[in-house]
Amino acid sequence: MRMNLTELEIRILGCLMEKELTTPEYYPLTLNALAAACNQKSNRDPVMSLSEAELQRGLEALGARGLARLTTTGGRVDKYVHSVGDKLGLPVPAHAVLAELMLRGAQTAGELRSRSERMAEVGDLAAVEDILLKLQQHGPPLVLRLPRQAGRKEVRYAQLFAGMPELPEEEPEQPSAAPVPRLRPGNERLEHLEQEVGTLRQEIAELSREVEELLAAFS
């Protein structure tokens, strides 16, 4: 599957996936219902204001990729469904986590656990982390673990339907709560600094390998 969807296409697809799980009695969605879902102010980041004409163009683009289609329900009003289940073959909890990332952007595992529960039972934090790991290992990868940012204690995860995002620089992990030994002047101080530099170089090398592996998956 081509992983270069636009922000509009991702919003449409995420809404179709969400409403299938949260309000199955109103799914498939009419164009009017889809507009309300895409433009709602809750559970959305960023908040959008999309016209039906824009949504129609997005649906046509998704249809060309085999990700959404018009249903043949026999009613008077056209209705639309997504085809992500057919394309990816993911279980329902993974669909919920993926839809949440598409609708609200990068989030921590804890945020995804609490926010995805409105769509499906995703389990405890360990279960969500396992879902995220499987989405990272999907071919091609569907989720990326972002480097830890300054001021944040937890790492965040982002969906890859728009392709590889710009990666922020990772903040070096702080030492544990154990007391920091007082450095003595002279050779001991120099040796300690050399050890810290070596540790940072190893972390940077590991991150570079992860990024290279993900880029290779898209090539």
Pull the structure tokens for residue 88: 């990816």
pLDDT of residue 167: 67
Query: Cα dist. 95→29, 92, 122 in Å?
Result: 18, 5, 10
pLDDT in 10s for each residue of the chain, 219 residues: 556 899 999 999 999 999 999 999 999 999 999 999 999 999 999 999 999 999 999 999 999 999 999 986 656 889 999 998 888 889 999 999 999 999 999 999 999 999 999 999 999 999 999 999 999 999 889 999 999 877 778 999 999 998 887 765 555 555 555 554 544 555 666 666 676 666 667 667 666 666 566 555 555
Other CB atoms within 10 Å distance of the CB of residue 73: 11
Are residues 162 and 5 in contact, defined by beta-carbon separation less than 8 angstroms? yes
pLDDT of residue 219: 53
Helical ranges in the chain per DSSP H: 7-22, 31-39, 52-64, 84-88, 92-104, 109-116, 125-136, 187-218
- Which pTM was predicted? 0.73
For the chain, the structural domain boundaries read 7-136
The CATH code of the domain at 7-136 is 1.10.10.10
Give the C-alpha separation, 209 to 64, whole Å.
Answer: 34
pLDDT of residue 158: 96
pLDDT of residue 118: 94
pLDDT of residue 140: 86
Which residues are within 8 A (CB) of 124 and not within 5 positions of it... i.e. 6 or more apart?
113
pLDDT of residue 183: 45
